[in-house]
Structure 1
Amino acid sequence: MTFRMPTTTTATRAARLLVLLAALGTLLFAGAPQAAAHASLTGSSPADGEVVAAAPETVVLTFSERVTLSGDKALRVLDPAGGRVDTGEITDLSADGTVRHGVALTGGLADGTYTVAWQAVSADSHPIAGAFTFSVGAPSETSVRLSDQQPGGGTVGLLYETARFPAYAGFVLLVGGVAFTLLCRPGAGAARASGRLALAGWTAVTGATLALVLLRGPYTGVGLRDAIDTKTGTALLSRLLLLAAAALFLAVLYGGGARERRGGRGLPGYALPVAGALLAVGLAATWALSEHASTGQWTQVAVPADVIHLLAAGAWLGGLATLLTLLFRFPEQVSRAVVRRFSLLAFWSVVALAVTGIFQAWRQVGDADALLSTRYGQLLIVKVALVVLILAAAWISRRWTARLAEGTGHRDADPPAEGDPAPEPAAVPSAPGSEGGEDPVRRAQLARQRAAVRQTRRRRDRDADAERSGLRRSVLAEAAIAALILAVTTALTGSTPARTEAAAATASTPEPISVQLPYDTGGPHGQGTALLDITPGGTGDNVLHLRLTDPEGLPNGAEEVRISLTLPAEDLGPLRYEPTHVDVGHWVSDDLRLPRPGDWELSLTLRTSEIDQTTETTTVTVG
């Protein structure tokens, strides 16, 4: 089929406005700080900061959801000098719903502190990375220096996240343009205009997908081959294959095949709608099977629900963009029958969006606290607000549609096709001094003048139609809001689901330890209560605060304070500390290290005079 570049009209200015809004939304959300992780490390063996008596044979990491570890840097164990002491053979040890991966260590590890550095790709396609240390025998100094640059960050991360927007927007325009043509059936000239919009969507999604494929390796921090050999890489390549088939589909729908169908020949009437539906479902599945819908709970329902959600968004928002284009370029072909068909399509699309959106929100958020306290939840609130706003604009459009339906000045029949040739201009006299024939300069000038007259006449006729002018303005507002909704949706797919973020925070944040110990040293002012707070209360480095109060609750003093910790189950300890006196009745130890989880016996020794002393003991549980 043949596409002509449109002249600079109000439609062009409206398109520029939409592009500006889309670019603004992309920069606003794609440039915002991304969440630190989607999957998260929930535990390890040895644990972070743990001191083990003998060198372990393997290092095992536990994650909150499925991850892919590939490449030479996926899981490294480094000795105090920075040399690798792992074999590089990563084993998947997942079982019973718990995601674990381990790497074997070389034998004969010396005492000292070892660094574990890892990077992976979570099941929803986003890269994650981290590092921690453990010690054999006793802690030591280490010279390991790891890069501060996280995978998925920097310029590459910004480019990758930005490319996701035109991929979504292109899909919406492609699906919406085709659905409008097949289901709403505008006139011949308008169908070619919707074909241009569908082609623009195809170009955008294809170009963005190619960019995502090329950026996938740098984005995840591995080679391109390793990046492609993942669920997301396979989905991107599958999308490109489906887009190649979609190009043939567009050629049949809007090219020569369309003329044959108008002549009563060609494919059966159901063939193109069925083929288009299959291609649209396949394209939507490349997102649903590789992003948030494919992770977490209820994935068997979430994946098809996400496909329906994407198709409904494409039919509604893409159809809205198509209707806006027709209202500017072919208002006379926006008949009451066409608008009624699109209204019905939009209604059922909104119903599908509401049902699937509520389900996905419940699955990914969980509760009100996660909705308000996480970036994902806050973006979801913004998206819902924009949807309410666009529905209000749609209600205004519906009022203009009702007025349009009451009008009788427009017919449903198609006007002459846009591509029909204009009458040939009259012959232009030869220029003085020429050898005969028409003056090409003068002929071009007359052609431009006649085109300007036709354009002015079309604009005048269009603006004189009050119903279509009002509908055009309200649909333009809807399309502008739709561009922002797509930008927020892009940011949502790049954020950690609220439920996952809340679960990771709960799993990674130990409970602070607080205990009260009554004491009596036997001397004057030797009675009271010792309040001990250990934060964060997990393995590794902690801070201990000790406060002594007398029976009336006032600060109480002591000449000497000592603390020791023993882990009887593993014959570890005692670990002895002498807290620093910072205020009346207040002591602090900021170097308290708990190398292993378990039930620790804490002994507190207080001396209030040369001869008055007591030792109180309690048990504290370290997670």
Structure 2
Amino acid sequence: MAVMTAAVRRPPGALAARSGTVAGLLLLLVSLLLAPATPASAHAVLVSSSPAASAVVPEAPAQVVITFSESVRKVPGKVRVIAPDGSRADRGEPTFRGGEVTIGVDPSAGRGTYLVSYRVISADSHPVSGTFTYSVGAPSEPPSDSGSDNRANPVTENAVKVTKYAGYVGLLLLVGPALVLAALWPRRLSRRGPGRLVWAGLGVLVVATLAELWLQVPYTNGGGLFDVTGSGLGDVLGSAYGTTHLVRLGLIAAAAFLLRPLLAGPIGRTDGIILAVLGGATLFTWPLAGHPAASPAPAVSVVVDAVHLGGMAVWLGGLVMLAAFLLPRADERELDAILPIWSRWAALAVAALLLAGTVQGLIEVASPKALVDTTYGRLLLAKIVLFALVIGVAAYSRALVRRRVAAGRPGAMRRAVVAELAITAVVLGLSATLVQTTPARTAAADVAGAPSGYFSTTLSSPIYSLQVELDPAETGNNSLHLYAYTKDNRPQAVQEWKVTAALPSAGIEPINVPLLPLSDNHATGEVSLPARGDWQLRFTVRTSDIDQATVTATVPIK
């Protein structure tokens, strides 16, 4: 019995299918036009604040500035400053400018310890939350923020992981069976069973996509499963995350019209190419809505993640077709023709998985230390171990095919396929967890909470006060943040910043520190301090054409 590869004659209903595809693509274009573009950035972490975490400042500041590693978006009502007496000290809505969030504070709230709590959304759609304290005058018992709980809801977080998993399952049940039906299905066998599997996969994928859109609302605001408002849903749909999901739904709708004739019989070459293009475009909606789009190399990460996902869908979806339909139903002649072709496909899919996974791992992990010191790294190691086990089982299956044993003894082949599917089901679960976990490159660099090498001080001049923060205050590369305030603790606009660093005890002459103004009163710079000792930092701040003053600080570098 010959194996079907392609049909020359156009099947009945082809015109209607193509018309439906055009309608689906129009829906896709509408989704793109309605959704605004947003810049990509990485999974954000808090890198500095003014006042610094745990700092004691002499006077109450008029604002608190928190700076993240990348751009963030607002979660309404989730950025707050609590005064020592437990009352709200923040005033008005916080201002978001890229990765910098400025919170107006009532300077008359009194002396003692203040609590800053925040929950924001990074560009890869994941919420970032945390708290820190600072003190005015002297520390006191830290207040609690009873009116705003920024902790994640565990039910919602687990529901998000389940829907991610369901989306992967729906994708492989859609892609793999459709590919086998298009290129490897024997003429004499009925397509009813595989057709039901394909429709089931499409249905699961659509439901999972809609569920992800719904759950993104409580996931971002920290609420329960049904804490969804119209405005919250509108914010999600208007974000990059919502755009990619709407695009996915449009692509699925377009593909559905071509799937119907495929499930009834062979389709023409043109329709097959269109279906393949739609499937490939759909794969890109996963990385565009997650970590890859926000990685240090987004173009590379998005492509390799789509390849990784496509290899998984082809391989596992094909295994399902083998285990459920071809091995039980096809005769020996059909299996002799099908299995060698499938074996080559599986080898290519696994090679794509390995290559794409290696590249993505290098980007997201960044260092061997992060591989073992972070949750993301440890999950990735577990995934690698399980994947190696699957490769071993797949090699055994391929050996059966090469020895032409599988066609005569399909039971052995079927057991190997079932073992592959069982292990990869766990791998899919790890993948669903990984996409919700802070990448190792970011987690390893998370400096929120002021490490022990952190230096912070406030310097005074006749025309301004200057908050100075140096991190990590050790030999090597250091990040410098400067915040200027008026004498009554209002933000002081600065026209020009100059900073030098010197170590007289070691004969190191003043080094100019290049600065980048981030706002009117905030500048940052990078400086490399090569030796230990008490470094002399000299700051010259010009606030107008004629007003400037210079202050100095001694910074112990370890």
Q: Same fold (TM over 0.5)?
A: yes
Q: Which residue of 1 aligns with 2:170?
A: 170
Q: Which residue of 2 aligns with 1:317?
A: 316
- Identity among equivalent positions (%) equals 36
CA change 1:59–1:343 in 2 (3 A) is: same
Contact 1:170-1:203 at 8 Å conserved across structures:
yes
Report the Cα distance in structure 1 between the residues aligned to 2:534 and 2:243, rounded to whole angstroms: 47
How much has 1:84 moved relative to structure 2?
3.4
Structure number with greater Rg is 1
Contact 2:44-2:71 at 8 Å conserved across structures:
yes
Report the Cα distance in structure 1 between the residues aligned to 2:66 and 2:115, rounded to whole angstroms: 13
How big is each residue's C-alpha offset from its partner over 1:332-369, in whole Å with a ceiling of 9 and x where there is no partner?
28522222222222121112111111111111112222
CA change 1:237–1:147 in 2 (3 A) is: farther
Report the Cα distance in structure 2 between the residues aligned to 1:622 and 1:89, rounded to whole angstroms: 38
SS at match of 1:113: strand
SS at match of 1:503: coil
Report the Cα distance in structure 1 between the residues aligned to 2:425 and 2:406, rounded to whole angstroms: 31
Aligned residue pair count: 419
User: Structure 1: where are the runs of 5+ without partners?
Assistant: 1-36, 262-266, 408-465, 514-536, 540-569, 572-597, 602-617
Contact 2:114-2:143 at 8 Å conserved across structures:
no
How much has 1:373 moved relative to structure 2?
2.2
Aligned match for 1:76, one of 80, 97, 105:
80
Report the Cα distance in structure 1 between the residues aligned to 2:406 and 2:345, rounded to whole angstroms: 21
Report the Cα distance in structure 2 between the residues aligned to 1:300 and 1:132, rounded to whole angstroms: 35
Matches within 5 A, 1:105-124: 105=105, 109-124=109-124
Q: Which residue of 1 aligns with 2:358?
A: 358
Taking structure 2 as the reference length, the TM-score comes to 0.67
Residue type of the alignment partner of 2:84: P
Aligned match for 1:234, one of 243, 248, 251:
243
Report the Cα distance in structure 2 between the residues aligned to 1:65 and 1:375, rounded to whole angstroms: 21
CA change 1:321–1:371 in 2 (3 A) is: same
How big is each residue's C-alpha offset from its partner over 1:573-615, in whole Å with a ceiling of 9 and x where there is no partner?
xxxxxxxxxxxxxxxxxxxxxxxxx9799xxxxxxxxxxxxxx
Contact 2:327-2:335 at 8 Å conserved across structures:
no
CA change 1:38–1:146 in 2 (3 A) is: farther
- Structure 2 residue 336 is matched with structure 1 residue 331: no
How big is each residue's C-alpha offset from its partner over 1:247-292, in whole Å with a ceiling of 9 and x where there is no partner?
323223214xx3xx5xxxxx7x322322222222232222101211
Report the Cα distance in structure 1 between the residues aligned to 2:453 and 2:107, rounded to whole angstroms: 36
Q: Which residue of 2 aligns with 1:341?
A: 341
Q: Which residue of 1 aligns with 2:26?
A: none
Residue type of the alignment partner of 2:439: P
How much has 1:111 moved relative to structure 2?
4.0
Q: Which residue of 2 aligns with 1:288?
A: 287
SS at match of 2:130: strand
Residue type of the alignment partner of 1:86: D
CA change 1:195–1:505 in 2 (3 A) is: farther
Q: Which residue of 2 aligns with 1:200?
A: 200
Q: Which residue of 2 aligns with 1:621?
A: 556
How much has 1:538 moved relative to structure 2?
8.8
How big is each residue's C-alpha offset from its partner over 1:138-160, in whole Å with a ceiling of 9 and x where there is no partner?
44556543479544332222222
How much has 1:399 moved relative to structure 2?
2.5
CA change 1:106–1:226 in 2 (3 A) is: farther
Residue type of the alignment partner of 1:470: A
- Structure 2 residue 210 is matched with structure 1 residue 275: no
Contact 1:375-1:498 at 8 Å conserved across structures:
yes
SS at match of 1:495: coil
User: Structure 2: where are the runs of 5+ without partners?
Assistant: 1-41, 223-231, 456-470, 474-485, 488-532, 537-552
Contact 1:86-1:106 at 8 Å conserved across structures:
yes
CA change 1:147–1:171 in 2 (3 A) is: farther
How big is each residue's C-alpha offset from its partner over 1:299-355, in whole Å with a ceiling of 9 and x where there is no partner?
121111111111111111111111111245423285222222222221211121111
Q: Which residue of 2 aligns with 1:59?
A: 64
Report the Cα distance in structure 2 between the residues aligned to 1:142 and 1:492, rounded to whole angstroms: 35
Matches within 5 A, 1:369-448: 369-404=369-404
Report the Cα distance in structure 2 between the residues aligned to 1:188 and 1:66, rounded to whole angstroms: 57
Report the Cα distance in structure 2 between the residues aligned to 1:469 and 1:315, rounded to whole angstroms: 22
Taking structure 1 as the reference length, the TM-score comes to 0.61
Report the Cα distance in structure 2 between the residues aligned to 1:82 and 1:600, rounded to whole angstroms: 40
SS at match of 2:444: helix
RMSD: 3.4
Contact 1:92-1:102 at 8 Å conserved across structures:
yes
Matches within 5 A, 1:560-571: none
Matches within 5 A, 1:557-596: none
Contact 1:128-1:151 at 8 Å conserved across structures:
no
How much has 1:69 moved relative to structure 2?
1.8
Q: Which residue of 2 aligns with 1:305?
A: 304
SS at match of 2:331: helix
CA change 1:117–1:406 in 2 (3 A) is: closer
Residue type of the alignment partner of 1:501: A
Q: Which residue of 2 aligns with 1:89?
A: 93
CA change 1:149–1:86 in 2 (3 A) is: closer
Report the Cα distance in structure 2 between the residues aligned to 1:150 and 1:78, rounded to whole angstroms: 14
Contact 2:371-2:378 at 8 Å conserved across structures:
yes
